[in-house]
Structure 1
Amino acid sequence: MIRKINKKGQVMIYVIIAIVLAGSLLLFFFLDREPRTTIDERESNPQSYIEKCVRKHVDDAVNIILPQGGFLEPTNFRLYNNIKVDYLCQNKGNYASCINQHPMLLNEIENDLIPYLNPKIEQCFSELRTELEKRNADIELTNQEIDLDFAFNRVYLKVNRKMTIRERGNTQIIDGFDVQIISPLYDLVNVAVEIANQEAKYCYFEYVGYQVLYPNFDIRKFAFSEGTKIYTIKDKYSDKEMNIAIRSCAIPPGI
């Protein structure tokens, strides 16, 4: 009787060890996998590859412009934490309210991003072409044009370009690429413009009350002694932050 119990116990131990080893191997396999664009993906789904490549470049561009007041290369800025923060509303004198420098900020962002993104998206197609041609596929591309649009929690980018792939007697035609990127850019810019408008009109923005009405935003203000205020607007859902500089109704130091 004792020998039978021991054998059953040994079998159970072996089963448990086998399950643990199998689970460890599966866990290692999934943890070791990193999201990356592979050659196989380029070959099997060119459209998905282009969309993923475009999405990455848009995300990178948004991450550049948000801390800088909405611009890739600010020209009229105040340094804040070693970041060039563009003035959205400014009066270089004292006491007078500021003048809105960028009342059509979203349009300016669009005009700034399109020439920045265009060559990067062109590179996406170039890399795809190189990989597909390695397997003797024939690829035709028309000229590239891109359109940008912004909406609540979204950036929409359309690549107006026809791509034709011929391989082994099969032809695949893609007439264009519509890419949707989850981003708070539109929402943060609207808050920034509202701050600039209020500062231009009242020399003040009631950011505490604004957060009560719109709890998805966290707004902070830092004031320099010379009169510049830096507003940092944070989207709580994404943790993305936008900085803007304001100088309105400034009072000279010592008064």
Structure 2
Amino acid sequence: MTRLTPISTRPTGHNGSSLPPRTGGGDDGHSGRDGGDSKPDFMPNYGERLRRARLGLAVAMTPILMLFISFTAAYLVRRGFLTFDLSNNAYVRTWLPVRLPWFWLLANSAVLILSSVSIEFARRDITRQSALAPLQSIPGISLGDERHFPWLGVTTVLGCTFLAGQLFLWSQLAARGFHLNTSPSSSFVYFLTGMHALHLAGGALALAFADVATLLHRPIESRRIVVDITAWYWHCMTGLWIYILALFTFAAQ
């Protein structure tokens, strides 16, 4: 025969009720992942932040590339545009080729390419520092006093040199008689190089921000994101400049 136990004699929990304690073996939603009272981990996921930043850069570069492609189309269409000459009773091309200072143009291009190489070294160096940073917090492990070459500073100097070279090239064009409103061809040259210089100046500001963050010893992961995105943006600007040079070479034929 089954024997019933009175309620008053049933074993109770530590809270004095007949129910099991709320903080038993289960997860009540208030404890940490390990079952203790530790707080949730709110450390940022730097890998996810880097991927999002790169995606944002790709989205931002799309309208910039479309802008230069549209200017290229207008440049080529205007170059081949024919006007009717009443004196000769025939269609003639009125495009006036611009005599570019190719020596200084190529020298300035070499400066930009060197800056792209130096910022790539900076990106790889800070990626290595970020990978080794967790080891420095382990007791008994010492990586020594590593000295890092100031690749960011070199890139900043080279970038500013390129922008100063652009001003010099424009003065050379003006000395040859090609001003902004001289002809449609000279207008396109000033506009394409000016738009490129404007976008590169934005990258130079990002470089300056990364330099300041380095001097202030900001967290390595945050600096890594800034340097990584600036480096890929800088590479895009270098490739875009080579594209503009190829366009000018084609138009000079």
Settle same-fold status: TM greater than 0.5: no
Greater helix share, structure number: 2
Largest Rg, 1 or 2:
2
Give me the TM-score of the superposition, normalised by structure 2. 0.30
The structure with more strand, counted as a fraction of residues:
1
| TM-score (structure 1 length as normaliser) | 0.30
